[in-house]
Structure 1
Amino acid sequence: MYYPYFRGKQYELITIRETSKLLAEKNFVPVIEPVRESLGSLKKTLSAVCEAGGRAIVIVNPYHGDHKKDGASITGLLQEYFCEVDNISAGILLRNDMNADEVIACYDQHADHQPVLVHAGFTAPKELAAALKKNTAGLDNVFIEDHAKMLYRKHFDQGKRILVRDGFKRQRNADYLPVEEFSDLHVTYDELRMTGFGDFLIAGDVYSESGGPAYAVAIHLTFIDPDKDDVMYVYHFISDTNDTPTDPAGKFAQALEKLIAKLDSDNSHILETEAIKEFRSLHAKGHFPGLGYIKKLSMKHHIETLADYLG
């Protein structure tokens, strides 16, 4: 039903591990694009998913990061450790630099791992659909909405169809508005003839190796507004100090103070998730856990919010 798309950095993988039981319980399927050369953390994450009885999709030909030129080690990981595992699928990222023959070759290579097509800029859908004709009925298709519009998607109208929308428009932390619309796909995906939906959580689809110095610290929290047809929105709680990259702990305290004030108001619509409880604990202790940890909490809150909404 819900397919969150993660880039396989440290805190993204930790988020999956820490929510693996919830993901499995709700039949949520994380899509993971490995971006780090070392695959030890990915192996640990996939093992956690399997132990929880969940499912995951691993991109075997990443577009970003250390495996961009060669995903052979990812394929090797799946073959060595997850060969007999039905719930770990090989995701084939269909990019604009691939042709149909290359897609078919990758598909055949990973036939033992329930291949899933992840459409992200491919330019020959009609040709590929014809080549896959015998397999399309049982094939899962994940469409990155910005790169796979409706006319493209009609060529893959059988099997599972998942639409992934980038609801988080990344910009400089200091430039975010207090609140923005995130997505309505969790409400409308079935009307679009989809069997599931996804997003890039609060990270967005824009990839960077590192965030750079934080002139402003931002805490991003999603919420569903029942007064607006259950559309999901995102709050951006921004530090007041943003003229130098120093004192991230102090800036976090400023942003966290705004978050707590909103939580304690009567109209925040923010679900009191386990992640929110930890934000409250950090506020009570006056503790700064690091920017990566803050991002992890925001991602966990996003997953918990959708899990609650979807029952």
Structure 2
Amino acid sequence: MYFPYIRSKQFDLLALKELTERQLLHPSVIPLIEPIKDSAALKRTITSFIKHEQPLAIIANPEVGEFDRSQDKLHDIDELKLAPTILPAFITNQLFTGSLISGRHNLLITNRYTANLSQFQSLTSDYEISHISIQDPRMAPLSQAISLHDPLTVLKNVEDYLYEEDEFFSDDHLFYLEDGFQGFSDYSINGATYEEKGFPAKAVALHILYFDAYQNLRIKHFTSDNNQDYTNPGGKFLEAANKLARWYQKYQDQLVLTYGLSELLLYQQNQKFPGLGVIKKLSLMHHLELVSRYFQQVLPKTL
């Protein structure tokens, strides 16, 4: 199973909603949402997952954003979280107690704060815990454990991706079962570091994942060239997209054409700039559909 860790920013939610409505997610791809804001988009996304019976995990005690600080929520999701396809998730930080856990299957996340080992093991035995997302395998029986990594290289300046065009991303999908884990998790193309708002950038980069000849996931960074100032993001997108199109044309027999990738190529073909948010949405859709296609090939049809 793959648990992509997604903060509930607008275009990330739009990516998840469109993926499930287009039925592009394999049942073993279970997005793990950390709500950051009381929003209609979050509620619509959860509703769509429930409607299409697509599994989804929702963190009940988010650490970032303003969701927990909103007392009177305009878009309450408490009832939605009771749906059978929704997996309750909890971050085991210093404020976490077992009293937060419901009687259903639950997912624990230990990515930022590692509790006392004996206390944590007691917690997992006293409550109904089906999945534990961890960085340290000592924290839980591997039969429950999901390996959590952040493989994305985040550069301070987007234009620096010009010198980091292609790199290894992950082979967790190949070895997680062999290593004894029940699943794997990462932060997709967003990275683990949370920023409330983005910052202006001189360059535009497209971060596109692909499988190499050995089925490792690698990531290509297609970056604009004329990056002297902050102007003309549309022209810079087309510079990056033209590189993407040339790469795809050269290697298309070896690449998986997902919906997200096909839409990016269509914008390039029409020489149109969809906006940075749409670019992010389509790039995330591409990654999650790519892993879904992998699961379709390697897992039994009954999953």
Q: Shared fold by TM > 0.5?
A: yes
How far does the alpha carbon of each residue in 1:232-268 deviate from its partner, in whole angstroms, 9 at most, with x for none? 1000000001121111001001000111011111478
Corresponding residue for residue 188 of structure 1: 175
Cα pair distance change 1:131/1:59, threshold 3 Å = closer
Deviation at 1:112, TM superposition (A): 4.9
How do 1:167-182 residues align onto structure 2 when only pairs under 5 Å count? Answer: 167-171=151-155, 172-176=157-161, 177-182=164-169
TM-score normalized by the length of structure 1: 0.86
Corresponding residue for residue 300 of structure 1: 285
In 2, Cα distance between equivalents of 1:249 and 1:210: 20
Corresponding residue for residue 289 of structure 1: 274
Corresponding residue for residue 193 of structure 2: 206
Secondary structure of 1:286's match? coil
* Residue 115 (str. 1) matches residue 103 (str. 2): no
In 2, Cα distance between equivalents of 1:72 and 1:139: 30
Corresponding residue for residue 53 of structure 1: 53
Q: Which amino acid aligns with 1:65?
A: G
How do 1:51-200 residues align onto structure 2 when only pairs under 5 Å count? Answer: 51-67=51-67, 70=69, 77-83=76-82, 85-95=83-93, 97-98=94-95, 102-107=96-101, 111-112=102-103, 114-123=105-114, 124-135=116-127, 138-143=129-134, 148-149=135-136, 153-157=137-141, 160-171=144-155, 172-176=157-161, 177-200=164-187
Q: Is the 8 A contact 1:13 1:41 kept in 2?
A: yes
The structure, 1 or 2, with the larger RCO (C-alpha pairs under 8 Å, 6+ apart) is 2
TM-score normalized by the length of structure 2: 0.88
Cα pair distance change 1:259/1:268, threshold 3 Å = farther
Q: Which amino acid aligns with 2:186?
A: D
Cα pair distance change 1:244/1:42, threshold 3 Å = same
Corresponding residue for residue 257 of structure 1: 242
Corresponding residue for residue 44 of structure 1: 44
How far does the alpha carbon of each residue in 1:2-40 deviate from its partner, in whole angstroms, 9 at most, with x for none? 11110100011011101115465433110001112x232
Q: Which amino acid aligns with 1:199?
A: D
Equivalent pairs, count: 290
Q: Is the 8 A contact 2:12 2:281 kept in 1?
A: yes
Cα pair distance change 1:236/1:268, threshold 3 Å = farther
Unpaired runs of 5+ in structure 1?
A: none
In 1, Cα distance between equivalents of 2:26 and 2:142: 26
In 1, Cα distance between equivalents of 2:262 and 2:24: 19
In 2, Cα distance between equivalents of 1:209 and 1:78: 22
Cα pair distance change 1:285/1:73, threshold 3 Å = same
Cα pair distance change 1:81/1:72, threshold 3 Å = farther
Cα pair distance change 1:77/1:163, threshold 3 Å = farther
Q: Is the 8 A contact 2:222 2:241 kept in 1?
A: yes
Q: Is the 8 A contact 1:24 1:55 kept in 2?
A: no
Cα pair distance change 1:155/1:278, threshold 3 Å = closer
In 2, Cα distance between equivalents of 1:210 and 1:196: 31
How far does the alpha carbon of each residue in 1:264-290 deviate from its partner, in whole angstroms, 9 at most, with x for none? 114784321112221221112111011
Q: Is the 8 A contact 1:202 1:220 kept in 2?
A: yes
Secondary structure of 2:125's match? coil
Q: Which amino acid aligns with 1:115?
A: N
In 2, Cα distance between equivalents of 1:113 and 1:88: 10
- Cα root mean square deviation, aligned: 2.2
Moved more, 117-126 or 207-216: 117-126
Moved more, 234-243 or 258-267: 258-267
Q: Which amino acid aligns with 2:244?
A: L
Cα pair distance change 1:272/1:135, threshold 3 Å = same
Corresponding residue for residue 7 of structure 1: 7
* Residue 235 (str. 1) matches residue 233 (str. 2): no
Q: Which amino acid aligns with 1:214?
A: A
In 2, Cα distance between equivalents of 1:190 and 1:72: 41
In 2, Cα distance between equivalents of 1:278 and 1:203: 20
